[in-house]
Structure 1
């Protein structure tokens, strides 16, 4: 799909209005900054690992800068994992990141509330967010609010709400990206098609926004297909997760254009996950200006040598491209962010 260049340019003009009318000042300030910056710059971003978190320091070592956006995951706060002894510190990491001047984004690899297979290979409970590792039926659960499955979904949402409340209490706005990549079907929340997924998105939005009164959230939808779009009334920002071939630095114009077509409303479009960094010069030439990127962790950034050291890996993005992006005038690193605690309100 080809969208005219002038349409893409117009789409960079987004009003800083959040879908939650009671959004607090922290969320409104961050949204104002994102709208002011959109189309003019891309915020650099990086997801941290699950069991080890060297990514930010490796980036600083290799480029001299920290990314503007830090990516975190509520995965091990899921009751299905916590009940197995999993421990998570991502809320603590996010609190520290915000205090150091960075922007926080969270996803949630939501382990199914029950019915993990716990079989060898890729079907153990640790993989319980994958469709292949659970028999939990989201369609059945969402069809009956009185069912155990539905009540367990609510239980899990409430567990994550506790972490989001910690962030809200500390004044941290969150780029909140739940139920991601649903249309791919590889996660249980997308395994039964759009209808139960959309119902689950509605439940999640309602429970967090109205029941828990979490007003620090900016809702980032990342369903990756128009048929799965929940509607403008519950989506602030659209994210695309893209893993092109190794060292393919193209700006992924087709995927940007696809994201534009999910709605006729003006929404910020972000590269919410990436394996390869896009070339900033190509982004400018082709007028494909993602609001931020968030490189996935581990092998996309580093390897581990025989001495246990963590050298930068050029397997996906060459070192020269990493430095180019982090030093490019189009890119924003953490040290270039304004004070978002006092940024002007819209």
Structure 2
């Protein structure tokens, strides 16, 4: 499947940036490196409140995705203090125990200074730049400030959830501070410098203080100026939302993502709307490590009180092709990663 001239680009050594990474993380990384450039892991993101997407995928295709995407959003302290609850950690543990792979992002509700105005700037939109006046640059420039200490508080709160996953033996493809260069999230609203500093702070605190050694760090900043350095990144992710029913391989974005690093890094399609056609991915050598289709109407519609596959973004025939293609890996094909060989 791989052109001879491109083979070297898909050779990635499974060396995690955390020198104390635990074996389950190393085994998952070994597996990802072994299949990179040969197969793509099918993936699906969970819904924020309800999560019918994976069940609908199974009902439609007869198969579960290999990768399930979760979100720590409702564990953010500025949401829990307003009554938000979340069970993503528990669902993720069950998913791993049933043979699947876990990835987490974090729509980080700003620690304070929420605009809290209906309809579009309510407190539950507090991860968006336009729904908070929290200034990440001001916070990162003054480590004695209340704002900086609130960032620490929030990182520690999410670390407790990650610790639960570590104690359950679950390695995590960890994708914080996503899409930062777009500026639509507060962590990217003040430019690259404070965001990169925040990434390094989070890595240091989670790795060296909280001893979270089950994390594989997936950077998803989407611009070279925002790249924190190879020593802070295990995998590079790109989020791509083409128009509905457009199935291009996204090879240009794939090549751009490869250019961020001075080393070979695994490249993943960490969010997508329509699913790229696997034949086009192979043809164009845009061999994403996994995809993660976004939730809601990207997957299903509701008719007569019943949720069912929509086909609005990825047509049914295209979905079936993807889930049954020899390039694609579904959950039933994932080996036992608890005993996968280390290398």
Question: Fold-level match, TM-score > 0.5?
Answer: yes
The residue correspondences of 1:86-235 to structure 2 (distance < 5 A) are: 86-235=84-233
Q: Cα 1:7–1:143, aligned 2, differ >3 Å: closer, same or farther?
A: farther
- Report deviation, 1:311: 1.6
Asked if 2 retains the 8 angstrom alpha-carbon contact of 1:43 and 1:331, the reply is: yes
Aligned to 1:21: 19
- Residue 333 of structure 1 aligns with which residue? 330
Q: 2:57 aligns with which of 59, 68, 76?
A: 59
Look up the SS of the partner of 1:167 in the other structure: helix
Report whether the alignment pairs 1:318 with 2:318: no
1:166-224 residue CA offsets vs partner (Å, 9 max, x unmatched): 00001000000000000000000000000000110010000100010000000000000
1:92-116 Cα shifts (integer Å, max 9, x gaps): 0100000010000000000000000
Shift, 1:9, TM fit: 3.0
Distance in 2, matches of 1:294 and 1:18, equals: 22
Cα pair 1:27 1:216 within 8 Å, conserved: yes
What secondary structure, in the 3-state scheme, does the structure 2 residue paired with 1:311 have? strand
Asked if 2 retains the 8 angstrom alpha-carbon contact of 1:9 and 1:287, the reply is no
Q: CA deviation at 1:11?
A: 1.4
Figure out how many residues of one structure are paired with residues of the other and give that number. Answer: 342
User: Contact (CA 8 Å) 2:230, 2:262: kept in 1 or not?
Assistant: no
Instruction: Kindly state the Cα deviation for residue 10 of structure 1 after the two structures are TM-superposed.
Output: 1.7
What is the match of residue 241 of structure 1? Answer: 239
TM-score, length basis structure 2: 0.98
**Partner residue, 1:12:** 10
What secondary structure sits across from 1:70 in the alignment? Answer: strand
Please tell me whether the aligned partners of residues 54 and 64 of structure 2 are also in contact (alpha carbons under 8 angstroms): yes
State how far apart, in whole Å, the 1-side matches of 2:49 and 2:7 are.
41
1:343 matched residue in structure 2 = 340
1:65-76 to structure 2, matched below 5 A, reads 65-76=63-74
CA distance in 2, matches of 1:100, 1:320: 27
Gaps of 5+ in 2: none
Partner secondary structure for residue 198 of structure 2? helix
Name stretches of at least 5 consecutive residues in structure 1 with no aligned partner: none
Contact 1:97/1:104 (8 A) holds in 2? yes
State how 1:70-85 maps to structure 2 within 5 Å.
70-85=68-83
Superimposed CA distance per residue, residues 131-156 of structure 1 (whole angstroms, 9 cap, x where no aligned partner): 00000000000001000000000000
C-alpha distance in 1, partners of 2:201/2:79?
Answer: 21
